[in-house]
């Protein structure tokens, strides 16, 4: 389903023409289109690789767009919209971040030009994208802390009630 999910994500983005629009108008357009079509994309994301295909389709859409200069700072917001709509899971986004940090191309991208690969890495390294990735990593750490500390908290309250 990876190709279908990627095509659906690209179609959702393509439904809002960014030409001549403000950043807020573009994001609102994506949000409205996602409200209608997000569930379809979500259902096409059966496996983790399907979510990765969606992220890569968004990267490709942004770096190949005639409105690239406008869309690059919005990339983070697009990912966040998909995350908030539960189309993309935290684990898939963190896996993508690890792939981009490594600087390697995976097998899906081996035919891509060096220029496109450099653009995708620059998109990942954009300060707003990095801010989103940092936030996700902190959320992941908080989730780990909560699951570990909830056991400690329960045993501590049992000890207090035994006294």
Q: DSSP characters for 71-108?
A: HGGGHHHHHHHHHHTTSS-HHHHHHHHHHHHHT---GG
1-15 as b/e: b if 16+ CB within 10 A: ebebbbebbbebbee
Per residue of the chain (163 residues), what is the pLDDT tens digit? 889 999 999 998 888 889 989 999 999 999 999 999 989 899 999 888 999 999 999 999 999 999 999 999 999 999 999 999 999 999 999 999 999 998 876 655 556 678 888 899 999 999 999 999 999 999 877 766 666 654 444 444 444 444 4
- CB neighbours of residue 88 within 10 Å: 25
- CA 19 to chain CA centroid, nearest Å: 23
Sequence ranges of the domains in the chain: 2-105+113-150
pTM: 0.80
CATH 2.40.50 fits 2-105+113-150, yes or no: no
The answer to whether 34 touches 85, Cβ cutoff 8 Å, is yes
């Amino acid at each position: 389903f990876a190709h279908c999910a990627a095509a659906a994500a690209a179609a959702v983005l393509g439904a809002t023409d960014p030409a001549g629009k403000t950043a807020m108008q573009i994001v609102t357009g994506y949000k409205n289109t996602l409200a209608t079509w997000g569930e379809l994309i979500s259902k096409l994301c059966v496996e983790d690789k399907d979510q990765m295909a969606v992220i890569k389709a968004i990267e490709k859409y942004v770096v190949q767009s005639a409105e690239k200069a406008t869309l690059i700072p919005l990339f983070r917001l697009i990912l966040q919209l998909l995350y908030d709509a539960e189309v993309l899971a935290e684990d898939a986004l963190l896996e993508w971040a690890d792939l981009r940090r490594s600087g390697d191309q995976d097998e899906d991208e081996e035919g891509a030009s060096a220029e496109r690969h450099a653009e995708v890495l620059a998109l990942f390294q954009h300060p707003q994208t990095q801010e989103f990735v940092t936030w996700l990593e902190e959320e992941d750490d908080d989730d780990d802390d909560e699951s570990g500390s909830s056991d400690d908290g329960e045993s501590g309250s049992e000890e207090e009630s035994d006294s």
